[in-house]
Structure 1
Amino acid sequence: MTRLITRKLMPLLMVAYVISFIDRTNIGLAKTHLEADMGISAAAFGLGAGLFFLAYSLCEVPSNLLMHRFGARFWITRIMVTWGLLSAGMAFVQGETSFYVMRVLLGIAEAGFFPGVMLYLTYWFTRRQRAAAMGTFLAAVPIANIIGAPLSGAILGLDGVAGLQGWQWMFLLEGMPAVVLAVVVWKLLPDGPRDAPWLSEEQAGRLEAHLEAEQEAGAAESGTHSFAGVFRDKFLLMTIAIYFCHQIAVYSLTYFLPTIIESWGEMDSFTVGLITALPWVASAAGALLLPRHATNAARSRTILVGGLAAMTAGLLIAAVAPAVVAILGFCLTAACFFVVQPIMFAVPSTRLSGATLAGGIALMNTIGILGGFVGPYVMGLLEEATGSAVSGLWFVAALVAVGALLGLRFPTRDPEFHDSVAEVGRPAAEAG
């Protein structure tokens, strides 16, 4: 059954996330064009880029609670339509004010997609299967990073076609696929197992009973039964703190890796792009190969702590080594990005249920997004203060090391529950 569910759901969700990530990050390639054509200053550009994350983070929790109320099919479709239209609408900004407004609206529109999918996966995969499923989904991020820049660069070459600038074509052509795919999501994405035409009534009932038993056992053991209780749950708060450190590393490399590579010597943009892609290839491999082994609490802790320790080592290697060895350090770090992330996102579903689970997952991603602001900001400050593009890596490595130490406090025992269908995940091949 697990293979069948993965085959039916994951390709659609991954394609949607690839489009989402490209729409979120293509603004970087438009920077110089917006400055030249619209008079948007570097400071205004930086503010607009940050406003997206601010609006995004503020709307995460409400969005997930609304998805829990209205259903995944409707809410994910709504998110994709609005973000696609607004992303395409970026082609028509006229200056700094409209740029700010569009970035805020885009952040509001896209908020909830990622935590919504994390919540949605808890409707389908048991605790033993969840880290592997989330790791597979997260492989969409490196895929987006590998194909996004070349795609956007090619579209920028349409400058002047039909009287539009290249950056306008980029926003239009990369925004509209989300709207088109939203139609597919509306037609094919079931709200839950009971709505899936490719599962029998018996399979759906067995799966839902097992998942409900797991959540009830976890919530009973943690004692967290309300969203306010999340802020008193020390284990959840520790997990959120680890995720904050993790996201600082992810976004620091996302935004500063090309600059660091350029500091190694004279090379053209294409070469920089190729080298930049290498760590993301490693991260895709890690996401697809390792999270599947996090099948219980003891293994999850081992993989989490080991992954964070490897990330720390890779960052330190990159900070001190010559270029060839440094890129291997970056590859080691990136290979663990989406190995440890699904383990952290699997935690809320072992301690929360219902609307509390929806809010808890969204809160976790909200704090993580703030890490996405802190990391690049501090990296920039340290580079400016020291004149070295790699100086900020020491700061990032220190925080990831703190995350690894916190990870040592993860439990090694799963919550116990008694359920007649406890082995629902075992017959994975019966329908697949």
Structure 2
Amino acid sequence: MDAPIKSKLSHASLERSAVRKVATRIVPFVALMFFINYLDRTAIGFAGPGGMNTDLALSAAQFGFASGIFFIAYILLEVPSNIALHKFGARRWLARIMVSWGLVSVLFTWVQNFEQLWILRFALGVAEAGFFPGAIFFLSFWVPARHRAKILSLFYLAQPLTTVVGAPLAGWLINQHGLFGLEGWRIMFFGVGMPAIIVGVIAWFYLVDKPADAKWLTADEKTWLTNALEKERDTTSEGGAAHHSIKGAFRNGRVWILGGVYFGLVYGFYTLAFFLPTIIAGFEQQFGGKLDILQRGLVTAIPYLPAAVALYLWSRYAGKHGVKAWHVALPAAIGAVSIPLALFAGSPAATIAVITVTASSIFAAFPLMWTLPSRFLTGAAAATGVALIGAIGNLAGFVAPYITGMLKDLTGSYVVPMFLVGGFMLMSCLLMVSLNRKGLPVESRSEAEASEAAGVESL
């Protein structure tokens, strides 16, 4: 066998083994952190119809405000948090964030009124600020661009699976009403807060900041990963300071447009996350019948299992053929059309089916959108740009539940709020198309074929 062929096979073997080790050692643990993160921030969506709204005498607007105020603090501190992560190291910073939000989450067990509720939600936003963009940025230290769609899809699976597992879990915890003399929703808050503290402490010792420090990689695998990632950073940096400076990230129009894309997707996502349990509870009045708390949790989980499958399969397809703008725009368009259609379904089953399509479209778009910033940003600009996109998008985390609750109070139904969701998701589709026309750098077919040739498509 010729030496060049042997060399290619050697590089392919190193690439395959290195990326697979990252996919099995780093990604599942960071996904577990994301699982707990999402469960903590959306626990209020289960607590509301599970007795909290009644016990604290909350209106729909107050519930929406308390749900959304989390994101104001999160947005204000997201960029500074990611800059700190870049400075102090992802391992320390992500562990610190996790323990902080776990401590705040546990305090919800003893909330007594609306004022305490929204103050604690704001404090939770302060504690969690920077976790998600920090996790995305951290994974970019470990995975070359041509594998990022696959790896981010594995990471992002934690989000829909949080609802698949978390909704029945939350229902079961709420059903433990009277344990330790507490209402069920208070037990639920305590039960989802403690794991964050435990896993945060473990993260301090388990995570590694960069491949060169990983004891579970061979010397050759460390060298291959380090060289591949450095080569990417050097290529991206050839664009000048605008691609790797903090100021460059703020001045980059593509960052702001991606922020708008993310805003529309997040608007749809958090409307479902916070109000789907309440909408399902309303089935009892609209269609008759009676569901207990656990059954509501199980019904709430139904749309998210197909969404997890759609996320994974769509990411694999896009990763194999090279991520293009339409891989994000098409799911956004489907979600824009489907969410208002749920209003006209004639039964609970039909409503859940349409909502399943919406959830699947949102989750199919999320991980692919997050592969794009690292294609035109590196270094501090990448940390800042990812955080800025997250901050813009997460503004919808405040706007969506608050406006949804307010419009529900004003109109007496969810008709207007759901059409508004469709409008924002259509905006995401159109912005993605416009971004493509401006020359968005995406994964080329040759890169995708290189990934496939390395045999990593089996991840």
TM-score by length of 2: 0.84
Is contact 2:244-2:380 (8 Å) kept? no
Is contact 2:163-2:300 (8 Å) kept? no
**Distance (Å, rounded) in 2 between the aligned partners of 1:206 and 1:338:** 32
Corresponding residue for 2:342?
A: 318
Describe the shift of the 1:29–1:405 C-alpha distance in structure 2 as closer, same or farther (beyond 3 A): closer
**Corresponding residue to 1:9 among 26, 29, 49:** 26
Corresponding residue for 1:169?
A: 187
Describe the shift of the 1:375–1:197 C-alpha distance in structure 2 as closer, same or farther (beyond 3 A): same
**Distance (Å, rounded) in 1 between the aligned partners of 2:122 and 2:421:** 28
The one-letter amino acid of 2:258's match is T
**Distance (Å, rounded) in 2 between the aligned partners of 1:211 and 1:51:** 38
Cα deviation, 1:302-335, whole Å, max 9, x if unaligned, reads: 3112212222232243243433444332222211
- Secondary structure in structure 2 of the residue aligned to 1:294: helix
- Secondary structure in structure 2 of the residue aligned to 1:336: helix
- Secondary structure in structure 2 of the residue aligned to 1:346: coil
**Corresponding residue to 2:328 among 292, 304, 310:** 304
Verify: 1:158 aligned to 2:176, yes or no. Answer: yes
Cα deviation, 1:182-219, whole Å, max 9, x if unaligned, reads: 23212221111111111122222221222222233234
Please show how residues 348-427 of structure 1 align to structure 2 within 5 Å: 348-409=373-434, 410=436, 411=439, 414=442, 427=454
**Corresponding residue to 2:138 among 120, 130, 145:** 120
The one-letter amino acid of 1:118's match is I
Is contact 1:143-1:284 (8 Å) kept? yes
Corresponding residue for 1:105?
A: 123
Describe the shift of the 1:152–1:213 C-alpha distance in structure 2 as closer, same or farther (beyond 3 A): same
- Secondary structure in structure 1 of the residue aligned to 2:377: coil
Cα deviation, 1:158-199, whole Å, max 9, x if unaligned, reads: 333334443333222221111111232122211111111111
The one-letter amino acid of 2:148's match is R
Describe the shift of the 1:9–1:329 C-alpha distance in structure 2 as closer, same or farther (beyond 3 A): same
Cα deviation, 1:334-371, whole Å, max 9, x if unaligned, reads: 11222211122122111111111111111111111111
Deviation of 1:95 (Å): 4.5
Is contact 1:319-1:391 (8 Å) kept? no
Corresponding residue for 2:212?
A: 194
Deviation of 1:45 (Å): 5.0
Describe the shift of the 1:258–1:369 C-alpha distance in structure 2 as closer, same or farther (beyond 3 A): same
The one-letter amino acid of 2:226's match is E
Corresponding residue for 2:15?
A: none
**Distance (Å, rounded) in 1 between the aligned partners of 2:95 and 2:331:** 34
Corresponding residue for 2:364?
A: 339
**Corresponding residue to 1:53 among 44, 57, 71:** 71
Verify: 1:291 aligned to 2:310, yes or no. Answer: no
**Distance (Å, rounded) in 1 between the aligned partners of 2:358 and 2:81:** 31
**Corresponding residue to 2:288 among 243, 266, 276:** 266
- Secondary structure in structure 1 of the residue aligned to 2:267: helix
**Distance (Å, rounded) in 2 between the aligned partners of 1:330 and 1:35:** 24
Is contact 1:236-1:348 (8 Å) kept? yes
Corresponding residue for 2:10?
A: none
Question: What 5-or-longer segments of structure 1 have no aligned partner?
Answer: 417-421
Verify: 1:70 aligned to 2:88, yes or no. Answer: yes
Deviation of 1:425 (Å): 8.6
After the TM superposition, which of the residue ranges 210-219 and 330-339 deviates more from structure 2?
210-219
Describe the shift of the 1:219–1:403 C-alpha distance in structure 2 as closer, same or farther (beyond 3 A): farther
**Distance (Å, rounded) in 2 between the aligned partners of 1:363 and 1:179:** 27
Is contact 1:23-1:87 (8 Å) kept? yes
Corresponding residue for 1:252?
A: 271
Verify: 1:135 aligned to 2:153, yes or no. Answer: yes
**Distance (Å, rounded) in 2 between the aligned partners of 1:36 and 1:302:** 44
The one-letter amino acid of 1:116's match is G
Deviation of 1:67 (Å): 1.0
Verify: 1:240 aligned to 2:259, yes or no. Answer: yes
Identical aligned pairs, as a percentage?
Answer: 35
Is contact 2:341-2:354 (8 Å) kept? yes
The one-letter amino acid of 1:339's match is A
Describe the shift of the 1:135–1:415 C-alpha distance in structure 2 as closer, same or farther (beyond 3 A): closer
Is contact 1:297-1:413 (8 Å) kept? no
After the TM superposition, which of the residue ranges 227-236 and 357-366 deviates more from structure 2?
227-236
Is contact 2:322-2:443 (8 Å) kept? no
Deviation of 1:7 (Å): 0.8
**Distance (Å, rounded) in 2 between the aligned partners of 1:318 and 1:171:** 30
Corresponding residue for 2:35?
A: 18
The one-letter amino acid of 1:52's match is F
Corresponding residue for 2:12?
A: none
After the TM superposition, which of the residue ranges 63-72 and 214-223 deviates more from structure 2?
214-223
**Distance (Å, rounded) in 2 between the aligned partners of 1:206 and 1:231:** 32
After the TM superposition, which of the residue ranges 69-78 and 227-236 deviates more from structure 2?
227-236
After the TM superposition, which of the residue ranges 376-385 and 115-124 deviates more from structure 2?
376-385
The one-letter amino acid of 2:171's match is G
Deviation of 1:424 (Å): 8.3
Describe the shift of the 1:310–1:46 C-alpha distance in structure 2 as closer, same or farther (beyond 3 A): closer
Deviation of 1:119 (Å): 0.5
Deviation of 1:377 (Å): 3.0
- Secondary structure in structure 1 of the residue aligned to 2:391: helix
Describe the shift of the 1:315–1:96 C-alpha distance in structure 2 as closer, same or farther (beyond 3 A): closer
Cα deviation, 1:74-97, whole Å, max 9, x if unaligned, reads: 111111111112211222335455
Verify: 1:84 aligned to 2:84, yes or no. Answer: no
**Distance (Å, rounded) in 2 between the aligned partners of 1:202 and 1:82:** 37
Corresponding residue for 1:419?
A: none
**Distance (Å, rounded) in 1 between the aligned partners of 2:361 and 2:53:** 36
**RMSD of Structure 2 on Structure 1 (CA):** 3.0
**Distance (Å, rounded) in 1 between the aligned partners of 2:341 and 2:69:** 33
Deviation of 1:34 (Å): 4.7
Describe the shift of the 1:30–1:200 C-alpha distance in structure 2 as closer, same or farther (beyond 3 A): same
Is contact 1:128-1:294 (8 Å) kept? no
Deviation of 1:427 (Å): 3.6
